[in-house]
A and B are shown apart, each in its own frame.
Chain A
Amino acid sequence: MKSYDIPLYPGNSLTIILYQNVSNTDEIMSKLLKGELEYSIINCKAIFDHRQLLFAATKVLSIQHSSKLSTHNVHSELIYLLSPTTNMKDSIKKFGLQADDKQFYIAIFNSTSEKLNDIKSLVKGDQVEEQYNEQSKTIENTSYFSRDTAIENYSLKEYKDIAQCDDSKLKSYIFNSMSMKGLLK
């Protein structure tokens, strides 16, 4: 678990938790569908590192600040903004929780100890102690990131050299695609 302040929007933070071996995803899913959960649950296969969530969080706050969210609240907006498309259903399907997920990220804006306790008692699974990577200066998703899922979810085949590009380029393409959401011609 790690909390980050969002520098561009002072006073706001995002807390990120990675869960694995979760055994009650259906229970969580049903609460989620009822709109009872005040945090984002994110499919971790297309998430490269914490920074990806933090840039999406920055964008949530910028939209909240200067226009209007496209979804109900900041937590659903975070999931929506991880996606490169403006197709709402598709975005939630690809970046939100799926019924058979045993691992996922939870992200919470301005979390409280009360909320963290709620999460702890709801989720039957293990919180992962994620390692900070000195070289990339972030916490990478070394266990569950899937290059193929990322290529699929971010339509990275549109980048000419995607077949032979290294991970740092792949990551840069992911950011690029997230940034262009809704702004393509």
Chain B
Amino acid sequence: MSDLVKMEGITDLTKIGAELISQGAEAKTFKLNYFGMECIIKERFVKTYRHPTLDSKISNKRILQEIRSLNKCKKNGIDVPGLLFVDIVQTRIMMEFVNGITVKQFLYNNCENNYQNTQTPEIIRICREIGQQVCKIHDLNLIHGDLTTSNILLRTSTNNSTVFIDFGLSYTSTLAEDKAVDLYVLERAFISTHPNSESLFNEILQSYKDSSKNSPSVINRLDQVRLRGRKKLAFG
């Protein structure tokens, strides 16, 4: 019975037709058609300069954080990719492929480097939706941990509605401080990737503010976080 199945697994996903679409610092992301379904496989890899068991422990922790946060969002009606298959040992997450583009790409395509003069109703709607969804995530006491314009996708089939991805650095917290730092990360990402986009970020903040009774304390905190400035992010 034990020799009924063959034990070998695919280690190099490109051998079964997967396409490498992104290589981050700690993970490779592939696109693959699996049984007729477009999928994303995100695979964390072992960093050779770290201790191997320590490294796989860190990878395991990340992958658990990532899937638990995705699951929590999914259950609470925040649009995130649905999970299809998780392999903790091989540090692989298979999830639904979202057909669309990143917010980053969308802004590049639509703003031509001048974010002040190109506030189309569509861009404003997207910013307001981002604020509202981030607020919903925070109301679940979930901190995304890496809010950037590449980690928010716009789903084509639902007229560019937002889909949040990349929860590998997420964690749970009830603290206004942690939520404020999350917003601050997003603000820095916005302004460094999209110069002069302050007014767009203000749209995000305004709708964040309008979306929950918990928002005022977070926004107050954000002012303090900004004052402490980059130090906290760089060294904290």
Give A contacts to B, CB under 8 Å.
4, 7-12, 38, 50-51, 54-55, 58-62, 64-67, 73-74, 109-110, 136-138, 158-161, 172-173, 175-176, 179-180, 183-185
Contacts and interface: CB of A to CB of B under 8 A. Distances in A.
Given A38-B4, A158-B75, A173-B74, 20 more contacts: A8-B9, A10-B6, A10-B8, A12-B6, A51-B35, A58-B85, A60-B5, A62-B87, A65-B7, A65-B8, A65-B9, A110-B5, A137-B37, A138-B35, A159-B75, A173-B82, A176-B71, A176-B74, A176-B82, A179-B86
Interface string B1-29: 10011111110000011000000000000
Interface of B: 1, 4-10, 16-17, 34-37, 64, 67-68, 71, 74-77, 82-90, 94, 96
Contacts of A175: 82-85
Nearest to B38: A137
Given A9-B8, A62-B9, A62-B87, A180 B67 contact: yes
B80 to A, nearest CB: 10
A21 B110 CA distance: 59
A172 B96 contact: yes
A115 B88 CA distance: 33
A74 B5 contact: yes
Contacts of B8: 9-11, 65
A184 B83 CA distance: 13
A16 B96 CA distance: 24
Contacts of A38: 1, 4
B9 A110 contact: no
Contact of A184 (B6, B10, B34, B71): B71
